[in-house]
Amino acid sequence: WVNDPEGNFVLKSRMVIKEGDEICVSYLSEEALLDCTKTRVDDLDSTKGFVCTCPRCVADEDPSRVFACPSCSLGEVTFPSQAPLMSEGAEAIDSFDDFPSCSTCGRELTRDGFKACLRIESRIGNILESLEAKPISRHNAGEFLSSMEVEQLRRLSQLGTHDKHGLSAKLLHILVDYYVFTKEYSEAIKCIDIYLDFCERVYDGLNGARSWALEEKGDILLEMAMYEILIERNSSKFSGFSSQSIRRMFFYGTFAEDEIGKLASSGILETYEKAAEELKLLFGDWHEYHTQVYEKIIKARRKLASS
């Protein structure tokens, strides 16, 4: 739901509905809709007093709780939706016995393997909570994270979950800011693509978090293409430019024909346009979430055409 410019309360449908169809109004934020089933159900029960029985919440498996198989390391195990969290305590964990099997080797997860997965999940969750409490951005990420720490976090996510757990995806989304800060744009794109893949895999339909990440990817593609052009012009002069300065150069600089070709083929406009399309459907064409990315599209089109 959103408020329109006149202050009216507007409900936006995420899919086509027919007269007489039953509809459900989400009580969760766009980001919370991507949380694991246990977290969503428990949050709604404790804060709103009802147990959600939507198709996602009653599904047998929880696609946001995926781990690397402890037996073969190649495949994955996907937890049942009712699998307990580490925070629920020993009694809930010890009484659970619906263990999943590996998608590759077919071996069923042992109780020890199940507990090992819970420990990995808890560790990533604690790290994520700590990072989310810090004011990390693309302008200052190097003040909060070192290259060694980032490498260790990438290894933990990959070895423990093959980057497919929801907490891993959210962790990598935070690391995007670090890679933009250090101008490792290819790694930033890898991380944000993992997050986008996660959003699509666990939520079948429009989701604001995914759309905002698409807009963010457009920003990174713009900065990456612009930085490559600047470095080709004068490496010593432009290598120390800040993220903001690099983006400003796109809108206020002039470019040769071959540079325009590089910018036009970088996927900037296509990514912005996809984000704008989704945000328009979610929030309306008058909402700032849509208008701010649409303004980027207009400026980028004008710049690429005029240069």
Tens of pLDDT, residues 27-41: 889 999 999 999 999
pTM higher than the cut 0.85: yes
Let me know if residue 295 belongs to a domain: yes
Q: Which portions of the chain are predicted below pLDDT 50?
A: none
Residue 23: predicted pLDDT: 75
Let me know if residue 79 belongs to a domain: no
Number of domains in the chain: 1
Phi, psi of 189 (to 5 degrees): -65, -40
Residue 25: predicted pLDDT: 73
Residue 115 tokens, joined:
């507990």
Let me know if residue 197 belongs to a domain: no
Q: How far apart are CA 232 and CA 256, in angstroms?
A: 12
Let me know if residue 291 belongs to a domain: yes
Let me know if residue 280 belongs to a domain: yes
Let me know if residue 177 belongs to a domain: no
Residue 203: predicted pLDDT: 94
Let me know if residue 73 belongs to a domain: no
Residue 307: predicted pLDDT: 54
Residue 148: predicted pLDDT: 98
Q: By residue range, what is the domain housing residue 272?
A: 208-307
Q: How far apart are CA 155 and CA 162, in angstroms?
A: 9
Handedness of CA 53, 59, 64, 70 (dihedral sign): positive
Let me know if residue 54 belongs to a domain: no
